[in-house]
Chain A
């Protein structure tokens, strides 16, 4: 589209206020007279509550109220996905606590300090129960049960009947038990909510005003109305700036319910801004899978079948992250390959740990990590180059749309395209030569080269609302139901409206995340926003242009077919340069004629889209200390047609850093009593700029046929592609020693241990038999109930 702004590097229009510190976050909102809430949290991973004495706390200075479950008539916590409806979580625990950090009581006080002090005065009697913190231990016959009535710690589970039989015709089977470790989401801003009675400081006729840091304001709004038995129209919910979410800020969480209930009782504003320690204990963790993968191969490298048994750790209360093992991880298990047979067993296991949920990728990174790892194990077994093995088994461009064995319909793809580009950018052959040179020279710092080729699912499910309105000053306003928080929506969506209306970006205003302004919305998650919300903005813009053309035709006395958008701020008659009307004049004209110059739509895509790509990681491995230094990372991600390369690159950078970090540093661990052992940012290692190499991010563009933009999601792709590339690179550096697998995070200690075992002639066998519980699972039937819930 020559001359169009679409596809160009437009700088982010929302950045100046962020950079100047003018952004609004929940904690800085000017809410007069807000009281503060603090939670009494369980120090035990599993215990019965035998008594709660709030007397002393209630008498403390500045304390307004102390609430236990008995004081508040609260609904159960509603998760995004229900893994097991019998594993009910109440916002405040009353009989039993099930993880360290489980909220038991809430203190409301005049100041945050008074609330924190009074928390210490609430006396809770606990009778400790046996703890199980490890998802495989949770499956043992004698494991302590979190919900005794359930009879086991399996919140959900199913298997395909075939099992390992599908490997019968393989020449070689690559096997590995792979841990996809538990990670924390760690947004810069933790959870935060401020609730006011009535219209609050913003005004308006409401019973309740909620300011909440979330990805999905309209979802939170509807759930709040339902939980508190209120008419949604009586609630005003606004989401100000959000300091990161990454899947961790979805819906109405336990603490939100308590804050709202406190406001309804006290009739004054209350806010809760969680501390970093609370965030690391109570915001859902994610990943947390143990994967038993077996890949059947012919000796020429042809894949014959894939058998997986995957345990998803739900944490406490059947956290929905554990359900990913049955849902998106299985759904994406075929990856980019021709695999003739897949048999998949899944268990969602209960442990006495923080409930799990979504984090950038939500079940798909786990699928890609498992498959890309086992492919490399297979390549090592066969003595094949891992690139060659991948290429031999790629699905081919003429096979799309392609329905996989596990029920996904891939919209479009050309999997060798980004791989070729990534290998070219990396100079793969030269890297292989340098790798061999170091081995031959006996150097102690070896080179590792890791490849991953992935596909993932984005934008599944629902439709999205958008409206575009033209005011009589010639300014357009976009209203949209997505809820951007750093992704660049004000820029990208304005580009779409600017292109359609022929007005500059500076004359476009952007509104989101306010239930008084935007009637409905699905929010932001699952990399859905541009492809669905953006398509809605484009569609609404086009509808507005249609309406404008009709008005202009009347005003300019011409045929509608002859009216065109002029590109300089108005409409005109084709071939008659003098016959024009500006958008401002047209908006006035519309008002004079009793109508408005506005249009809205609900856009529904024709299905989920499947972005893909290839990453190459280059690492140095110090074989004496085991220390890994990532030196290069090449990310070639194909997200369909690119609207703004700058925004895409930003998502690739952020995504890749989080993915690299999972491979090398991050790990949320518990001791055997269920106490967090990496519960602070001194122990839970998020990366700094010092750790990460310069990122070499680029794109190939393979359009999606499912939306008018040709776009696919990019928000999670680089996280999915990067982790296995780095892990493969580290193992690649030492595979000549006989090392086949090292679990993440690849700490110096783990890498050194793997090297030492191999050098001692006894490299660790990455395989052991999966827990017997898999054999007892019910056999899967019918269509996959999780297919549309992959993306959050």
Chain B
């Protein structure tokens, strides 16, 4: 890089150092797996004053479980999430399996996905549906941001300039009634045309869409409808009319655009189909657990 365009690379060994660096250089871009950031740098789409490499900070790459929650460090790569938390966080693991290629899953992280806040990010719908909270920190202290207030615009999030994402807190699934699905033209290494996540839990319904609005977002009308109408506690199959209505409500909540990957019309339609199908699968999971308890 030439002269004033040079990008400073900061490589802190501890979170304190990283937070101090970020406080000093609010324009610095944090770097975890680099699967989004490096692409933007390579294409010269952005040239930040500094990069803060977070990969040396060991505590970011750990997870722990207690009290029905998993605290997932922002630097845990998708591959470890899939291998180590596949049963505890089935929805998030399912979405992680659809990310990129093995190489990208080895490097990419949920924290990075949140930092980029792309409307097409694969893990966002699951985090929203599961009611996750994003833990962020700065030299001023730490706080938690509920997922549904985290995404503030296209590729924008609720972080203050001096804050870093340190972890996500995700309720673990007592019953694995969590589903994620997406439409892409290719199976692997493709940016989603649209995606959908559904979490069913003790009378609670979380449902969220991706790539179909300026931000990933929950679909409250569809959630409320389903919470009220599902025959909780039974293993009864769902009537087609209920699944159809749910699909309609999800489709109605979309606010998509036309782009090179798909038209708005197709996205709205396809999300209705994905909603109906994921409901069938998630309810099958629920019925299985009801039968297992009986």
Contact = CB atoms under 8 A, between A and B. Distances in A.
A677 interface: yes
Contact of A691 (B1, B101, B187): B187
Give the interface residue-count category, chain B.
20 to 34
A627 B183 contact: yes
B262 interface: yes
Interface in B200-251: none
Contacts of A627: 183
A120 B2 contact: yes
B246 to A, nearest CB: 15
A688 B188 contact: yes
Contacts of A87: none
Contact of B263 (A677, A685, A690, A749): A749
Given A625-B183, A688-B101, A752-B266, A117 B188 contact: no
Contacts of A669: 260
Contact of B260 (A120, A277, A625, A683): A683
Interface stretch (B135-143, B189-197, B279-287): B189-197
A86 interface: no
Contacts of A747: 185, 262
A748 B185 contact: yes
Contacts of B266: 626, 748-749, 752-753
B102 to A, nearest CB: 10
Interface residues of A, number: 30
Chain B interface mostly: loop
A625 B1 contact: no
A121 interface: yes
A756 B263 CA distance: 14
B194 to A, nearest CB: 10
B186 A665 contact: yes
Nearest to B267: A749
A121 B2 contact: yes
Contacts of B183: 625, 627, 748
B76 to A, nearest CB: 24
A418 B43 CA distance: 48
B270 A685 contact: no
Contacts of B191: 682-683
A665 B186 CA distance: 7
A678 B191 CA distance: 12
Contact of B189 (A61, A688, A745): A688
Contacts of A690: 187-188
Contacts of A625: 183, 270, 273-274
Nearest to B185: A747
A748 B187 contact: no
A625 B194 CA distance: 11
B193 A748 contact: yes
Contact of B190 (A277, A685, A752, A756): A685
Contact of B186 (A121, A680, A691): A691
A624 interface: yes
B186 A749 contact: no
B107 interface: no
Interface in B84-124: 101
Interface in A679-734: 680-683, 685, 687-688, 690-691
Nearest to B44: A120
Interface in A483-498: none
A421 to B, nearest CB: 30
Contacts of A691: 186-188
21 contacts: A61-B2, A117-B1, A277-B43, A625-B183, A625-B273, A625-B274, A665-B185, A669-B260, A681-B189, A682-B190, A682-B191, A685-B186, A688-B101, A690-B188, A745-B185, A748-B193, A748-B262, A749-B193, A749-B266, A752-B270, A753-B266
Interface of A: 60-61, 117, 120-121, 277, 624-627, 665, 669, 677-678, 680-683, 685, 687-688, 690-691, 745, 747-749, 752-753, 756
Shortest 8 CB-CB distances between A and B: which pairs? Answer: A690-B187, A624-B273, A749-B266, A685-B186, A677-B260, A749-B262, A690-B188, A688-B188
Given A60-B2, A691-B188, A749-B263, 17 more contacts: A625-B273, A627-B183, A665-B185, A678-B260, A681-B189, A682-B191, A683-B191, A683-B260, A685-B185, A685-B186, A688-B186, A688-B187, A690-B187, A749-B193, A749-B262, A749-B266, A752-B269
Interface of B: 1-2, 39, 43, 101, 183, 185-191, 193, 260-263, 266, 269-270, 273-274
